[in-house]
Amino acid sequence: APAGAPSTAPAAAPAAKADGKGFLPPGETGNVAIDSIVVVVNDDVITQRELTNRIKDVTARMKAQNVQMPDPADLRRQLLERMIVERAQLQMAKEMGVRVDDQQLDRAIGRIAEAQKLSVQDLRNQMEKDGTPYAAFRETIREEIIMQRLREHEVDAKIQISEAEVDSFIAAEKAAAAEQFEINISQIMVRIPDNATAEVIAQRRARAEEVMRQLRTGADFAKMAATYSDASDALQGGVVGWRQPERLPPVFAEALSKLKPGQVTPIIKSVGAFHILKAVDRRSLAEAQAVAAVQQTHARHILIKVTPTMSVADAKRKLLELKERLDNHAAKFEDLARLVSNDGSAAKGGDLGWLYPGDVTPEFEAAINALKIGEVSQPVETSFGVHLIEVLERKSDDVSKERERNNARQAIRERKVEEAAESWQREVRDRAYVEFRTDDGAAAK
């Protein structure tokens, strides 16, 4: 054990029976243990019950995600090691005075619920339905925030990046971009309903085949998308935009790689839909970066978030009503944004400022690119909800060297933080006094 490690069992250990096999309830004098110590970590312990609960939670999560389970002994060893590191970090945070009060915790849980499109009460009900006590869930989130703040103090704040590193990174990125390419894609998607019968799937395939038949006889792809596609970009002609093959599902990337600009793929079946993709154009990544650097769009939007009480259809219906008022000049965009929008930009009339490519979601960006200045979009669905979008201005500008360097600096920082965090966690683990307890109650180093 390192200097300063306790020479005797920690303060929590006396709660155990004299033989070290388990804890007894207050006042209990019998010999039936209700829990046992698995590991001593500095002045704290990890109990068998804690380890069993962690194994149960991780096992359920892995099965839900169809991840192949490791050997039980390996899973136990890995989770126990992770719990040791977490316990040592929490002790360090306590010594340094890192705290998360209930108000901060409530805000964090609110954001988690919002990301899942749930109210906090709905999230709580879901937790308890899954067998997780809400109080335990809250403490888990509190501990995660504490460990994140500790890491930010001990690791993130100490990362330094030199200008020479930034220069080298930019040079390497430009060299790599010369070898890579991206494809401008449009799509027609025929959705397969959840739990669809074989008959319904056959009907949806027939619809996709009818679209393909018309495309082969010269039908316009954008018109077919607007007519038949179930995707959110249907009314924009199915425009998806520029994508790198490695960022697409493998089956899509493989089919598109065989196409020349203007060609379409055969019908591709995914888990929930039939797809027809068009390779509109193709360019090197270096060309893409040059274009992206000069195209900026000033836009504003009205966002209605999808909630249990506001469906996608309801949100679209409400936004169509607003669009009709805008088209008839019966209202001003900025006034409606302040009244209706669920976004932080509402106070500014929905103004998002100047946007670079990549600053917003692909669906939002595709809608922006399809709009003329002063034109208001149809409702656009993204992961944030449903939007009405208006393009105010566009401008071309030379590559912002400072922006390029900031992006490079951020990428270097992310890589360094990941490496430094792993090293720091190993140091925390190595400095901790750790004592494993064997099944017979004896200590094992």
Whole-angstrom Cα distance, residue 221 to residue 214?
A: 9
Q: Give the pLDDT confidence score for residue 34 in this predicted structure.
A: 65
Q: Give kind and range of the element (H or E) at residue 171.
A: helix 163-177
- All structural domains of the chain, each given as residue ranges with its CATH number in brackets, are 181-290 (3.10.50.40), 294-396 (3.10.50.40)
pLDDT of residue 438: 66
Distance between first and last Cα of the chain: 9
Per-residue confidence (pLDDT) for residue 257, from 0 to 100: 86
430: CB partners within 8 A, 6+ apart? 2
- DSSP count for the chain of H helices, then E strands: 14, 12
CA distances from 39 to 46, 110, 134 (A): 5, 34, 26
Residues 231, 187: contact at Cβ < 8 Å?
Answer: yes
Question: Would the pTM count as exceeding 0.95?
Answer: no
What count of other Cβ atoms lies within 10 Å of the Cβ of residue 411? 15
3-state secondary structure of 69: coil
Q: For the chain, which residues score pLDDT lower than 70?
A: 1-34, 177-179, 286-294, 397-400, 438-445
